[in-house]
Amino acid sequence: MNDRFTQTPILAHKAGLPIYLDHHATTPVDRRVADVAMRLMLEEFGNANGTENLHGERAAAAMAKAQLQIARLIGAAAEDVHFTSGSTEAIQLAVAHAIAARKAPLRLAMTRMEHKAVIDTALRAQQLGLAKVSWIAADDKGRVVWQDFERVLKEGADLVCAMAANNEVGTIYPIEQMANAAHSCSADILVDATQALGRMPLDVSTGGYDYVVISAHKIYGPKGIGALVSPKFDRAATYGLIGAHAPTPNVSGAAALGVACEIMEREGAEEARRLLVLRDLLQERLTSMAGIVANGDPDHRLPHNLHIAVAGAPNDVVLSRLRGKVSLSTGSACNSGAQEPSHVLRAMGFSDDKIETCLRIGLGRFNSVEDIERAAAFLTEAILDVRIAMSGA
Does the protein bind ligand PLP through residue 142 (CB under 6 A)? Answer: no
Does the protein bind ligand PLP through residue 342 (CB under 6 A)? Answer: no
The nearer residue to ligand PLP, 123 or 333, going by C-beta atoms, is: 333
Least distance (Å) between residue 107 CB and ligand PLP:
22
d(CA 352, CA 371): 31
Secondary structure class of 208 (helix, strand, coil): coil
Task: Build a one-symbol-per-residue string for 271-300: x at contacts with ligand PLP by CB under 6 A, - elsewhere.
Answer: ------------------------------
Cα-Cα-Cα-Cα dihedral of 293, 296, 298, 299, to 10°? 180
Least distance (Å) between residue 86 CB and ligand PLP:
3
Secondary structure class of 204 (helix, strand, coil): helix
Known active-site residue 358: no
Which region among 40-48, 56-64, 83-91, 97-105 touches ligand PLP (by CB under 6 A)? 83-91
Burial class, 105, CB count within 10 angstroms (exposed 0-12 / middle 13-18 / buried 19+): middle
Site residues for ligand PLP, 179-218, by CB under 6 A, read 192, 194-195, 215
d(CA 53, CA 38): 21
Site residues for ligand PLP, 322-341, by CB under 6 A, read 332-333
Least distance (Å) between residue 160 CB and ligand PLP:
16
The nearer residue to ligand PLP, 12 or 25, going by C-beta atoms, is: 25
The nearer residue to ligand PLP, 215 or 315, going by C-beta atoms, is: 215
DSSP summary character for residue 1: -
Number of neighbouring beta carbons within 10 Å of residue 261: 28
The nearer residue to ligand PLP, 76 or 165, going by C-beta atoms, is: 165
Q: Select from 185, 209, 166 the least CA-distant residue to 75.
A: 209
In Å, the largest CA–CA distance within the chain is 75
Least distance (Å) between residue 249 CB and ligand PLP:
17
Does the protein bind ligand PLP through residue 226 (CB under 6 A)? Answer: yes
Residue pair 84/96 in contact (Cβ under 8 Å)? The answer is no
d(CA 121, CA 110): 12
Task: Kindly tell me which residue out of 88, 238, 252, 283 binds ligand PLP, with binding defined by CB under 6 A.
Answer: 88
Least distance (Å) between residue 230 CB and ligand PLP:
16
DSSP summary character for residue 4: G
Least distance (Å) between residue 24 CB and ligand PLP:
6
Least distance (Å) between residue 214 CB and ligand PLP:
8
Instruction: Please give the residue whose beta carbon sits closest to ligand PLP in the complex.
Output: 86
Site residues for ligand PLP, 146-175, by CB under 6 A, read 163, 167
Cα-flanking dihedrals φ and ψ of residue 22, to 5°? -130, 45
Task: Kindly tell me which residue out of 76, 106, 117, 278 binds ligand PLP, with binding defined by CB under 6 A.
Answer: 117
The nearer residue to ligand PLP, 88 or 295, going by C-beta atoms, is: 88
Half-sphere exposure for 261 (CA within 13 Å, toward CB) = 30
Tell me, what amino acid is at 19?
A: I
Which region among 29-37, 69-77, 81-89, 318-326 touches ligand PLP (by CB under 6 A)? 81-89
Residue pair 386/317 in contact (Cβ under 8 Å)? The answer is yes
Least distance (Å) between residue 163 CB and ligand PLP:
5
Residue pair 390/44 in contact (Cβ under 8 Å)? The answer is no
The nearer residue to ligand PLP, 279 or 387, going by C-beta atoms, is: 279
The nearer residue to ligand PLP, 215 or 230, going by C-beta atoms, is: 215
Per the residue annotation, which of 161, 185, 334, 358 is the catalytic one? 334
Residue pair 31/42 in contact (Cβ under 8 Å)? The answer is no
Query: How many residues touch ligand PLP (CB under 6 A)?
Result: 14
Rounded alpha-carbon distances, angstroms, from residue 186 to 107, 154, 311: 12, 11, 45
Cα–Cα–Cα angle for 333, 326, 269, rounded to 5 degrees:
70
Burial class, 373, CB count within 10 angstroms (exposed 0-12 / middle 13-18 / buried 19+): middle
Does the protein bind ligand PLP through residue 115 (CB under 6 A)? Answer: yes
Does the protein bind ligand PLP through residue 228 (CB under 6 A)? Answer: no
The nearer residue to ligand PLP, 167 or 327, going by C-beta atoms, is: 167
Q: Give the binding site for ligand PLP (CB under 6 A).
A: 86-88, 115, 117, 163, 167, 192, 194-195, 215, 226, 332-333
Catalytic (active-site) positions: 334
